[in-house]
Structure 1
Amino acid sequence: MTSSGILRVALLQMVSHRLDQAANQETGDVFCRRAAQGGADIALFPEMWNVGYSLGEPAVWAGAITRDHPFYTHFQSLARELGMAVALTFLEEGAAGPLNTLSLIDRTGSEVLAYSKVHICAFDQEAPLVRGSSFPVATLLTSQGKVQVGAMICYDREFPESARALMLNGAELILTPNACYLESNRLEQYRARAYENVLGLAMANYAAPQDNGHSVAYDGMAFDGEGCTRNMTLVEAEEAEGVYFADLDLEILRAYRAQEPMRTMRNVSAYDPILRGRPPVHG
């Protein structure tokens, strides 16, 4: 718990034990406890933590779970014990096939948000996944009061429509589990999502050597009270394992959003190719 109005998000940057769900559960437990000791309101896992995003291994699909699986119920109990929300990620067993899912569990152990990755990497190892169909936003009650939270997962952040849909649905904070190499282009693209939608973003990636870390968070406020540019970065990790904390001042963000015109000056009538889903024209 932090001072009034400051929401603390813990980015859990870890190396997984691949398909060993029991070991992943144990490591996740340790890192969640470290997050709680550091005063976190929310702990965010990297993408598909229960199986360590091990999609190159054929046995991975047998690791899909439902919400009555001990892996999931363990973190429900842990969230309740620690009084901290947990953004848990897992390969979910769905009726139509496996899903890449984030479940936001509040500090009472109840799920308040369920999101499955919309933009799956169908050109690669994610092809067997069933894609999600929407970008929901939920109210999360924390020690700092209520905050509107949404999620997008890894490849989702490559599409500006993902964050824009979440902003239009009321998100103040977007949680982003990740599982890939984060280089400057991807990080700057992610920063732009915060700037153009005027909201907080928090991304947790796998540590090296599984990926390259660089978990990061931005507050979405590009200018100060005098109109001068400011650094939106709340935290950016190096490559090593660790719990990295991002402090988002909700009161200042809300005041900034109230006077920032960019979210309200959209000219939707000019966006016909986007609204109709027209494919790109190749010259």
Structure 2
Amino acid sequence: MQVALVQLASSTDSAANRELVETRLGGLDGAADLVLLPEATMHDFGDPQHDLASAAEPLDGPFVSLLAAQARRLGSVVVAGMFEQTDDLPFNTLVAVGPDGSLLATYRKIHLYDSFGYQESDRLRAGDIEPVTLKVGGTRVGLMTCYDLRFPELARAVVDAGAELVALPAAWVAGEHKLHHWRTLLTARAIENTVAFAAAAQGGRRYTGHSLVVDAWGSIVAEAGDDDDLLQADLDPADVARARDVNPSLANRRMRSAW
């Protein structure tokens, strides 16, 4: 499976972000099976007083329509983060759009970032507690978002739902220890679940950047820098099967999740 991770820094100007996405995806050649953009690509979080409800869009709004057009052009599955409009607080949502432009899946972030002095739940609502996966070619892909990475039970749930690759868009806020946590948690989730991770992060001054592709052995396949970047990697689902054969920790479990 060919994956492409587009690292960018979005702003609170949704129209400008659509132009940015169109430019960045326009530079791809269509070789990737899966194209991954960060959390909040549609519209940045802004400062804590910024009204995300007024910026939120429906699933048939201009942002998803743009992703659908690009997915059709590329012949790829495109996954990106947005704020989804509701009659109350919006969801922090990942949308997965298929090569025909159809909406394949939505994942509404379960674990809101009420940590490190920030309170995401003041402005957004949490999604239902349910793992979300989709097929990309012959590979089952699980969806997680940013802060979800700190909760190993969700990674285990998407793996129990069949995931061989976990796609994790993020806006991982920069700060002391944060890059170390990012790398460590991604490799830990990969190792303990014998699953590959593709993590597309926001770059720029506010966020950590360092989008990562990690294989099922926990080895870093590709890593971005701090600013705008593009990672491309070839992930072989057979390598996941080999890792699970050599290290059958999933099969050896004596405690299992409800999923």
Identify whether the pair has TM-score above 0.5, normalized to the shorter chain. yes
1:186 aligns with 2:182: yes
Structure 2 counterpart of 1:126: 120
What secondary structure does 2:104 align onto? Answer: strand
1:10 pairs with 2:4: yes
C-alpha distance in structure 2 between counterparts of 1:95 and 1:168, whole Å: 33
Q: Does residue 252 of the first structure (1) align with residue 236 of the second (2)? A: no
Q: Is the 8 A contact 1:47 1:53 kept in 2?
A: no
Deviation of residue 55 (structure 1)?
5.0
Task: Please say which of residues 152-161 and 38-47 is displaced more in the overlay.
Answer: 38-47
Deviations 1:152-190 (A, max 9, x none): 111100011111111111111111111122411331121
SS in 2 for 1:37: coil
**The one of 193, 198, 217 aligned to 1:197:** 193
Which TM-score applies when normalising by structure 2? 0.89
Do 1:98 and 1:129's aligned partners in 2 also have CA atoms closer than 8 Å? yes
Give the counterpart letter for 2:20 in structure 1. T
Out of 109-118 and 93-102, give the one that drifted further: 93-102
RMSD: 1.9
Distance in 2, matches of 1:212 and 1:256, equals 29
For 2:207, the aligned partner's letter is D
The TM-score normalised by the length of structure 1 is 0.82
| Aligned positions, number | 250
5+ residue gaps, structure 2: none
Structure 1 residues not aligned, in runs of 5+: 1-6, 223-231, 276-283
Preserved contact between residue 105 and residue 113 of structure 1 (Cα < 8 Å):
yes
Q: Which residue of structure 2 lines up, in the alignment, with residue 175 of structure 1?
A: 167
Q: Tell me if structure 2 keeps the 8 A contact 1:55–1:126.
A: no
Identity %: 31
Tell me the alpha carbon deviations over residues 111-155 of structure 1, each in whole angstroms, 9 at most, x when there is no partner.
Answer: 2221011011245341231111211212223xxxx1101111111
Alpha-carbon shift at residue 51 of structure 1 (Å): 0.9
- Report SS of the residue matched to 1:61: helix
Shift of 1:61: 2.2
Larger CA Rg, structure 1 vs 2: 1
Matched-pair contact (CA < 8 Å) for 1:217–1:246: yes
* Whole-Å separation in 2 of the counterparts to 1:105 and 1:9: 15
Q: Which residue among 134, 156, 161 is the counterpart of 2:148? A: 156
